[in-house]
Structure 1
Amino acid sequence: MIITKQYRCIHSASCLCTKGHLSEEVIFLVFQRLNWNPKSVATLSCVCKWFDDLAKRVLWKEFCKTRAPKMMLDLQSSGSHSVDGNWRALGKLLIYCSGCTKGGLFNSIHVPGHFVYRTRFSRTSGKSFLLPHCRTDVLYVSDPCEHLDQGEEGDIGFFRGIFKSFATSKVRKMLIKREAQLHPTEVCPYCKAKLWSMLQAKMVPASASCRLGAYEDAIEYYVCLNGHVLGICTLLPLSDSEEASDHNMQDIVAIKWKISFDGPWTCNCIYASLPLPKLI
């Protein structure tokens, strides 16, 4: 069901239509009971400006803190009480794969955006997406959201992420120093801010493709003015042979599992066929 924002009233202190409304404290307790359900929060935001403001100030923040507590604690550890681009944008980034449209940022294919069931964000993985002299920056990056069999493009992976304190990061300073150009038309799907191309600025390290299990020359990502990252890659196949035995396929899956959780492994490890102990 699509709900259109009404924005009938801002509910100022003198506004009569606040009479009978629930207080912020009661609404907080209701959504706490709902475990900060994002669909319910989004629905409430569409009712009016007062509810939308409450959702942006309180409810999306609690949603983020509940879904990724350690990550949120780290992002706020510099003393800030908010995050770049607002909590609603961060909440959307946690649960939404933006996909791409033809003629957009990644104009070769069309993959509709969609909500994801579960995503792991990793600060350790984020180091692989930074040039060596920028690795004191903090970047959280998700595992790729896999979209298989995309015609000539093969298996496509979309990933997303967020910088901590992007305004003072070395990556931002380098982008400015290199006079990187903002994209003329496209904006961040999470906060609507302008985007820098890391590929155009020649700031995509080889370690990023290894971390993603992707072809080195088929990875591209952008960072917006608020520090949100979104990118695309062409994933390496698990096997060169379509007639691999069940035993060998089990070995390959096990190695890929090791890449996902233990990394960093080199991309060549994906093709290894050495016998491995069975996973229990």
Structure 2
Amino acid sequence: MTLIVDSETVSAAATAPESTVDAVEATLEDDKEPQNPLTEKFTEAEWKALKEFRSTLPETFKEAFPEQDGAGSTPYNLWGVTISPLKPKDARVSVVLMKFLRARNLNPAEAKDMFISTLQWRKSFKVDDVMKEKFPEDIFGKLGITYGKDKDGHPIAYNLYGANKDLDAVFGDTQRFLRWRVAFMEESIALLDFETVDQMVQIHDYEGVSMSDRTQASKNAASEASSIFQGHYPEFLAKKFFVNVPSFLTWIFWIFKPFLSAATVAKMSVVGSGPKVIGTALLPLIPANQLPKKYGGDADGF
């Protein structure tokens, strides 16, 4: 682990009288930022925004949990990272907070609002309880799978939309589907260390999906899930591939493309069908031994 300090403080230490050395050393200690490979990539503008955002954490937690005594000083665990409002200097905490800042163009006030909204949503949605819930294996067992890593160590999450043709079973209970989908997302995030990796690759496989599969219930569930992930899971996507995409879904994607940010579009790729075509798109990023044969790799897969 390396540390950074403010250059002005270093300069002051070099010229300070001996009588003030102890005070300067204490200041240097206070200015040190714990670092890891991810924080070392932060820009100067990102560090500035982070320090401002971080300074508001006691107030932020009070606003997020107004009914909780001592909320402004109570540590909170988010995605396996403990955030202490009064002692927030931690490299992994910096990585988590930076997600909210980047999602809001480094605007600390807007990042704060998003962070509060996320904390309150997690409480109302009862995410901890969702993670303990047992979902029917015959309904959801094949819909979401994490398998392998890309060349940068990002875990790969597969969403297999055609794996269960019983749409009433999958989407009939919208809230149960959303709980399962959030649980799958949380399980995928648990594979991130927030030291070297804080994002994942997603592969959305539409094999076997037809127009008849787009029921009102499935569209409502997809819309609600998208809203949850956009609002409460910022900057977790390294790359997203849509594979085995039917022509009607390709058309829909291009219709909505103008409404997506350039950064989001840059992370998304619509790929054709078959191992050779899919492999051509995925193998530059994913080692063959980490990619199932049905997607053009060498792994037995799932």
TM-score normalized by structure 2? 0.25
TM-score normalized by structure 1? 0.27
Please identify which structure carries the higher strand content. Answer: 1
RCO higher in 1 or 2 (8 Å CA, sep ≥ 6)?
2
Please identify which structure carries the higher helix content. Answer: 2
